[in-house]
Amino acid sequence: METIISSTDTNSSYLKEIEAVPESVIGKQYITVENGKYTPETLWAMGRIGSYEASPDLTRIVYTVAYYSVKENKGHTVIRIMNSDGTNDSLLTNSAFNESSPKWIKNGSKIAFLSDASGSNQIWEMNADGTEHKQLSFFEKDIDSFKFSPDEKQILFIAQAKYIYKPENLYKDLDKTTGLMANDLMYKHWDKWLKTVPHPFYATFDGNAMLEAKDILEGTRFESPLLPFGGIEQLCWSNDSKQIAYTCKKKAGKEYTLSTDSDIYIYDTESQLEINICKLSGDPDQNLGYDMNPAYSPCGKYLAWLSMEHDGYESDKNRLYVMDLETKKKHSLTDGFDTDVNEFCWDSTTATIYFTAVWHGRIMIYQTTLSSEITQVTDGDYDFEGLAMMGNKILVKRHSLTESDDLYCIDPANDFGLIQLTHENEHIFNQLKFGKTEARWTGTVDGKELMSWVMYPSNFDPNKKYPAVLMCMGGPQVGCSQLWLYRWNYSLLVEQGEYILIMPNRRGCPGFGQEWKAEISKDYGGLCMHDYFAAIDDLATEAYVDKDRLGCIGASFGGYSTYWMAGHHEKRFKVFAAHDGIFNQEAMYLETDEMWFVNWDLGGAYWDKENAIAQRSYANSPHHFVDKWDTPILCIHNDKDYRILVSQGQAAFDAARLRGIEAEHLCFADECHWVNQPQNSVLWYRVMIDWLNRHLNV
């Protein structure tokens, strides 16, 4: 364990916890921040809160935290427990194994959890004080996540099933070959070749062990939950423990990669029959887009889920749907709500559903009745996520642009007052300084209003001049809210570079109405780029901004934006940096994994010469404007990025050097669309910060 103790640190609870963790285990880090300077190493010393659950008697909360070691280049997940008011917070597991996904069972006397102690990820149980670990499952594969049925007589879990195309007559005597074959599309997804896909299994539990399991999708190439981000939230038990509602897109290959049409299926564990509740006979609403994340109401009468309307549009409005399970009538609760529902949970009475949604750069909690009476119940410059009920109270994580996640309890009966339960990284944040963050509104070229978050360094003096950096968001339908990220930590960039960072919620960002979000599709080089120019030009009018020291950075679509601006910026910027960006849209159309995305957002294939919308999209590909590049550019890309292949970043770098422009290329052979490993991340920050400081702080 990497532990650095300040000589002035005499907190007895810290010392007690250190003594409880073996030296070989990666645990909580108590670092001293030199001169209060925020560094990449400081960021990786922070604990990251994961899942959590309240005990049946509502007196305790069990939760996970992941800790990382830059030196060992790996992480370790532990389970912690505290009283429901946040007191008596203590470490529950201290082994060298990863222990996660804790869930209360046996009326709160035991905690079930996942552990790799047996060499694979299996379900275990322990006493509520952390003693007497016992393995419950002995499945032949890793278990990714699980849920006990309400009566605890069955376990629903996710594990991998074979997907890959591998003709046995060709491979039979070649056990050491690394060759992979494909005979249809969707052979790769996000960061890997699809050798397996997740399937939902259920098994009997006799109180001592999990018995023989049944694969609900046995013999198919379908997936549930949906790759790449879906988890156990896409499946649930009915209240009587007899049915399983699960999310599935029953398509494979080319059909899969062209469609976002997933549905909710209700599977009967006794008869092994199922129905698709999204496409019932005679129902005029066939739910043609994404449908996912089902949840039964506490009374068992209703099923709620998230639903999109249009097939192929992955960023369509996410609506909150409810079905009366007796009448099979369904309706949206949020048709009049002009932004997406991110997640939701039922309250204990079924009368209310709480959900989160972004509006004007903040993710807040809202409540709705079954008659669609929607009210915002939280406020402030924060983001909330991870809704869970604790009796009549709400458990949730909260963070901001300058605060990492902590757990909070919200009491609806007490005017939705917040009580902070954890202080996971308080000992580090107490040593750091952050500048102010404020919203800034700017007029656009078409007479609308653009909202940006502006972050200032902690040493900000309005009488001095500072360099400023434009942050281009990815997605492209991803907004800049009060997010706390480890991949791109904006506070860290601001403090290391001592510059002002502006993050516009340009066209395409959610939280400003569906029209605003939709205006980016099929118009990548249009209004969204004018929004970026409007934001940075407006900021540059401030006396404390040095308009001769402006930078532009971004990832994914933000990388596209950076490459595009390099050919259109008209000497605005002194430096560019792009991470995993789109450089050549024609090549990217045939290289990417999810064809529905490029078909919707670009308007179709580049060879369709009669498609004026598609032709406009490809005419705005950044590679067409390399002849106008004139500014130093950093191109970062990763070998395992199958969303936007590494050739995109390498082509951009090569183009810059062939044009005689100063450029650098950073590539990670073992990272995907992001940089997730500790040492790779530290190097990423060092390279990015060095590049920006070299060209802006001169």
What SS3 string covers 529-559? Answer: HHHHHHHHHHHCCCCCEEEEEEEEEEECHHH
- CA atoms of 517 and 321, how far apart (whole Å): 21
Contact 222, 252 (CB under 8 A): yes
Q: pLDDT at position 282, please?
A: 86
Contact 173, 127 (CB under 8 A): no
Contact 241, 150 (CB under 8 A): yes
293 class by beta-carbon count within 10 Å (0-12 exposed, 13-18 middle, 19+ buried): buried
Among 519, 652, 526, which Cα is nearest to 585's? 652
Render pLDDT for 411-456 as a digit per residue (tens, 0 to 9). 999 999 999 999 999 999 999 999 999 999 999 999 999 999 999 9
Other CB atoms within a 10 A radius of the CB of residue 364 amount to 21
Q: What does the CA dihedral 562, 566, 570, 574 come to, rounded to 10 degrees?
A: 80
Compute the mean pLDDT over every residue in the chain, rounded to the nearest whole number: 95
433-696 is classed CATH 2.40.30.10? no
- CA atoms of 679 and 402, how far apart (whole Å): 23
- CA atoms of 308 and 291, how far apart (whole Å): 6
**Residue 1's pLDDT band (boundaries 50, 70, 90)?**
very low
Contact 291, 278 (CB under 8 A): yes
Which H or E run contains 425? none
The tokens 């879906």 sit on which residue?
230
Q: Say whether the peptide bond before residue 476 is cis (omega within 30 degrees of 0).
A: yes
Q: What is the DSSP letter of 298?
A: T
Which H or E run contains 295? strand 291-296
Q: Is 648 helix (H, G, I), strand (E, B) or coil?
A: helix
Q: What is the DSSP letter of 165?
A: B
> Secondary structure of the chain: what % helix, strand, coil (to 5)?
20, 35, 45
- CA atoms of 99 and 405, how far apart (whole Å): 20
Q: What is the DSSP letter of 481?
A: -
Q: pLDDT at position 463, please?
A: 97
Average pLDDT on 385-403 reads: 97
Token pair of 657 as six digits: 């050097």
- CA atoms of 203 and 269, how far apart (whole Å): 10
Counting every residue written for the chain, the total comes to 698
Indicate the range of 11-15, 301-305, 429-433, 469-473 predicted with least confidence: 11-15
Token pair of 598 as six digits: 């490029």
Backbone angles phi, psi at 46, to 5 degrees: -80, 140
Q: pLDDT at position 70, please?
A: 97
The DSSP annotation for 34-64 comes to GGG---HHHHHTS-EEEEEEE-TTSSEEEEE
The tokens 């060759």 sit on which residue?
179
Among 157, 237, 164, which Cα is nearest to 199's? 157
Other CB atoms within a 10 A radius of the CB of residue 502 amount to 23
- CA atoms of 307 and 319, how far apart (whole Å): 5
Contact 409, 418 (CB under 8 A): yes
Q: What percent of the chain has pLDDT over 70?
A: 97
Token pair of 139 as six digits: 């499945």
* 7, amino acid identity: S
Among 45, 51, 53, 54, which Cα is nearest to 64's? 51
Render pLDDT for 149-175 as a digit per residue (tens, 0 to 9). 999 999 999 999 999 889 999 999 999
CA 500 from chain centre, in angstroms, equals 26
| Domain ranges, ordered by start, for the chain | 433-696
Q: pLDDT at position 619, please?
A: 97
- CA atoms of 382 and 481, how far apart (whole Å): 8
Contact 241, 154 (CB under 8 A): yes
Average pLDDT on 107-131 reads: 97
Q: Identify each DSSP E strand in 319-448 by its residue range.
A: 319-324, 329-332, 343-346, 352-359, 362-369, 374-376, 383-390, 393-400, 403-411, 417-420, 437-443
- CA atoms of 332 and 324, how far apart (whole Å): 12
Does pLDDT of 31 surpass 60? yes
**Residue 20's pLDDT band (boundaries 50, 70, 90)?**
low
**HEC states along 60-111?**
EEEEEEEEEECCCCEEEEEEEEEECCCCCCEECCCCCCCEEEEEEEHHHCEE
Q: Is 233 helix (H, G, I), strand (E, B) or coil?
A: helix
How many Cα atoms within 13 Å fall on the side-chain side of residue 609? 0
The set of catalytic residues is 556, 641, 673
Average pLDDT on 461-490 reads: 96
Average pLDDT on 622-630 reads: 98
Q: What is the DSSP letter of 24?
A: T
* pTM assigned to the model: 0.95
Q: Where are the alpha helices (DSSP H) in 190-274?
A: 253-257
Q: Is 689 helix (H, G, I), strand (E, B) or coil?
A: helix
Q: pLDDT at position 17, please?
A: 58
* 231, amino acid identity: G
- CA atoms of 330 and 463, how far apart (whole Å): 59
Among 121, 227, 24, 70, which Cα is nearest to 686's? 70
322 class by beta-carbon count within 10 Å (0-12 exposed, 13-18 middle, 19+ buried): buried
Q: pLDDT at position 281, please?
A: 86
Contact 433, 456 (CB under 8 A): no
| Helix and strand numbers, DSSP H then E, in the chain | 14, 38
- CA atoms of 611 and 619, how far apart (whole Å): 12
Among 606, 673, 663, which Cα is nearest to 642's? 673
* 274, amino acid identity: E
- CA atoms of 552 and 574, how far apart (whole Å): 8
Which H or E run contains 561? helix 557-566
Render pLDDT for 318-355 as a digit per residue (tens, 0 to 9). 999 999 999 999 999 999 999 999 999 999 999 999 99
The DSSP annotation for 577-612 comes to EEES----HHHHHHH-S-HHHHHHHH-S-TT-TT-H
**Residue 697's pLDDT band (boundaries 50, 70, 90)?**
confident
